[in-house]
Structure 1
Amino acid sequence: MRYYSVAQDSKFKTLIGEDSSLSLHAAAQQYTFGNDVESLFANQYELEFNSDDKNKKDASDIFTLFKPVLIVTSKAKILFRSVAPSSIEDVSVLSPNSDHSGILVHTVLDGAINRELSEFDEYPNGLVVYRVVLNALAVQGFDVFRVAESPLSIFVSDKFVGAAKDSGLKGLDLREIRVV
């Protein structure tokens, strides 16, 4: 099986958070690193399109700025729910596009990075990963997930990628990840 990292295609407009005391970006970071796992679900986060993106297309089905929270269209949400229903959880957002909703990729796999083949720097609070190589046994059977060693990165299987292509999902930038 093949796996890919997920990002948003740069051809499309990006969503950013409106100024507030707790932005979606900050809440997602706090959730990811265990500092405040409840606030992510206690608020509704207001979003807006980045004003610097005036000349870009407004048709992406996925926005990744707030990883591990993704902003998705209903078509993308249906795809995530059909391929990996137990891997995502809803997050309340208010977007300029009423078809957008927030989902958290909450499945996190321990030991999924092959430390011998991946490139990273290790610090007291964790790793900064430059090139990921996944352990085949650790990721086997998972179609949408994060890894504990790099918890802001989102990975999908070729099953997910095939379903995304079949549904005509727009805005995904996928990079194949080596798996051993």
Structure 2
Amino acid sequence: MKYYSITQDSKFKTLIGKDGDLSLHAAAQQYAFGNDVKSLFANQYELDFNPDDKKKKDASDIFTFFKPVLIVTSKAKIIFRSVAPNSIEDVGVLSPNSDHSGILVQTVLDGALNRELSEFDEYPNGLVVYRVVLNALAVQGCDVFRVAESPLSIFVSDKFVDAAKDSGLKGLDLREIRVV
């Protein structure tokens, strides 16, 4: 099985907090690092398209600026729910597109990062990972997840990628990850 990291394709407009507000971004990061796991679900976050992206297309089905929270269209949400129904949880957002909703990738795998083959720097508060190599046994059977050592990165299996391609999902940039 192949695995990929996901980001939004740079050809598409990005979403940001309304009026430059980083509250969803900050709450998502606090959640990811275990500092405040409740506040992410306590609010509904207002979003807007980045005004610097006026010349870009606004037809992306997935927005990754707020990782581990993704902003997705109903088409993308159906794929996440069908491929990995227990891996995501809803997050309240108000987007300029009424078809957008927020989802948190909540499945986090411990020991999935192969520390011997990955490239990273280690600091007292955690790792800065430059190149991810995943442990095959740790990720086996998982289709949408994060790893504890790099909690803002989101990984998907080829099962997810195939479903995304079959449905014509737009705006997803995939980078294959080595698995040993």
Cα distance in 1 for residues equivalent to 2:86 and 2:146: 13
Cα distance in 2 for residues equivalent to 1:170 and 1:128: 29
Give runs of aligned pairs for residues 40-59 of structure 1, distance below 5 A: 40-59=40-59
State whether residues 16 and 22 of structure 2, in contact with CA within 8 Å, keep that contact through their aligned partners in structure 1: no
Match of 1:177 in 2: 177
- Aligned: 1:148 with 2:158: no
Match of 1:92 in 2: 92
Unaligned runs of 5+ in 1: none
Cα distance in 1 for residues equivalent to 2:2 and 2:21: 40
Shift of residue 33 of structure 1? 1.1
Cα distance in 2 for residues equivalent to 1:120 and 1:50: 31
User: What is the CA RMSD across the aligned residues, in angstroms?
Assistant: 1.0
Provide Cα deviations, 1:56-109, integer angstroms capped at 9, x if missing partner: 001000000000000000000000000000000000000000000000000000
- Aligned: 1:138 with 2:124: no
Equivalent position SS for 2:82: helix
* Percentage of identical aligned residues: 89
Cα distance in 1 for residues equivalent to 2:110 and 2:37: 18
Shift of residue 34 of structure 1? 1.3
Shift of residue 116 of structure 1? 0.5
Point out 4+ residue stretches in structure 1 off by more than 6 angstroms.
none
State how many pairs are aligned: 180
Q: Which amino acid aligns with 1:10?
A: S
Shift of residue 22 of structure 1? 6.5
TM-score (ref. length: structure 2): 0.98
Match of 2:114 in 1: 114
TM-score (ref. length: structure 1): 0.98
Q: Which amino acid aligns with 2:131?
A: R
Provide Cα deviations, 1:154-174, integer angstroms capped at 9, x if missing partner: 000000000000000000000
